[in-house]
């Protein structure tokens, strides 16, 4: 199997994102190797040896996606037996020409601690944890968004992802079996209706998830799942609450769609 390396003098997140996005266009299996914080020539030489071993083992040149600032380290990696894709080199010159100024390369430039955005994200994570699953409903005036839905529809992972990646303060509130007879928005949610965003999911997928958690229970039964989804979607439509079906979406896609529909400000960099 061919190997793809994602390498950087920092976290290697940029290399991973660009590299994975590019390779996802091709129906080819890769072994993925991420190597962050290659900050010395000694470390770069070790990485070169690893790349060259992968080439010798498979007989195919590994793909190497990297974002290096240090020219000596970059040159060392470029002399490996890999196929090199240097994202920064490809884009820096056109941007310099457009802006009319020279780039000033700096290590750890994209994912380091920037005081404002970092604090926003840490505060948002703490908020999401403190306001998870309806455990605290008196704090919703401080929420940027309030995710609602039935149990296991993706509220908690989405709230945490929004917090960690974008600094969005997301609370989440569950609709349970006890709510279903006369499902309505509680008064404490009505006060913050403009912040509410609903999550839904296909009943068969919900049944599959719940069955893995509590098999052979009323909670996980296909009938219960169908009933709960039917009732919450009726509520969403009645109250004109925007909602999203999460069945075939990753947490990254769910979060991106919520941000797109709500227009919430991102605090990522």
Are 150 and 209 part of one and the same domain? yes
Q: What is the pLDDT of residue 14?
A: 87
Residue 41 and residue 65 share a domain: yes
Helix (H, G, I), strand (E, B) or coil at 4: strand
Q: For residue 106, what pLDDT band results from cuts at 50, 70 and 90?
A: low
**pLDDT of res. 147:** 98
Separation between Cα atoms, residue 167 and residue 266, nearest integer Å: 6
122 and 237 fall within a common domain: yes
Phi/psi of residue 108, nearest 5 degrees: 55, 35
Q: In the block, which residue shows the tokens 């909670």?
A: 219
Q: What is the pLDDT of residue 102?
A: 87
- Would 235 be classed as within a structural domain? yes
Distance of CA 207 to the CA centre of its chain: 25
User: Could you say which of 69, 99, 129 is where a domain stops?
Assistant: 99
The predicted-structure confidence for 149-173, as pLDDT tens digits, reads as follows 999 999 999 999 999 999 999 999 9
Which among 187, 229, 186, 185 has a CA at the least distance from the CA of 204?
229
Q: How many CB atoms lie within 10 A of CB 153?
A: 29
pLDDT at res. 107: 60
Looking at the 3D structure of the chain, how many domains does it have? 2
How many Cβ atoms sit within 10 Å of the Cβ of residue 172? Answer: 26
- Which 8-state DSSP code applies to residue 61? P
Residue 157 to residue 24: CA distance in whole angstroms: 24
88 and 131 share a domain?
no
30-41 confidence digits (pLDDT tens): 999 999 999 999
* Average pLDDT across the chain, whole number: 92
Please indicate, yes or no, whether residues 94 and 119 belong to a single structural domain of this protein.
no
Indicate if 95 and 174 belong to the same structural domain.
no
What's the pTM value of the predicted model, to 2 decimals?
0.76
Domain match, 184 and 122 both:
yes
Q: What is the mean pLDDT of residues 117-122?
A: 85
Collapsed DSSP state (helix, strand, coil) of residue 249: coil
In a domain, 224, yes or no: yes
The CATH code of the domain that includes 133 is: 3.40.50
Range of the domain at 137: 115-262
């Amino acid at each position: 199997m061919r190997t793809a390396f994602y390498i950087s003098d920092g976290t290697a997140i940029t290399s991973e994102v660009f590299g994975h996005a590019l390779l996802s266009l091709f129906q080819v299996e890769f072994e993925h190797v991420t190597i962050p914080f290659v900050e010395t020539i000694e470390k770069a030489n070790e990485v070169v040896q690893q790349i060259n071993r992968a080439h010798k083992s498979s007989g195919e040149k590994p793909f190497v996606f990297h974002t290096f600032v240090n020219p000596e380290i970059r040159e060392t990696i470029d002399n490996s037996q890999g196929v090199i894709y240097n994202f920064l080199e490809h884009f820096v010159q056109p941007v310099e020409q457009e802006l009319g100024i020279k780039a000033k390369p700096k290590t750890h430039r994209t994912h380091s601690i920037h005081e404002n955005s970092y604090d926003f994200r840490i505060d948002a994570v703490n908020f999401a944890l403190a306001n998870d699953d309806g455990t605290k409903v008196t704090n919703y005036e401080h929420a940027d968004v309030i995710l609602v839905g039935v149990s296991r529809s993706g509220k908690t992972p989405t709230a945490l992802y929004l917090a960690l990646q974008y600094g969005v303060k997301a609370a989440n509130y569950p609709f349970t079996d006890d709510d279903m007879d006369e499902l309505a928005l509680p008064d404490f949610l009505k006060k913050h209706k403009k912040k509410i965003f609903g999550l839904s999911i296909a009943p068969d997928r919900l049944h599959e998830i719940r069955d893995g958690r509590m098999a052979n229970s009323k909670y996980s039964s296909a009938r219960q799942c169908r009933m709960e989804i039917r009732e919450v979607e009726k509520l969403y439509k009645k109250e004109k609450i925007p909602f999203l079906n999460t069945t075939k979406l990753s947490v990254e896609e769910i979060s991106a769609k919520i941000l797109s529909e709500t227009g919430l400000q991102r605090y990522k960099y």
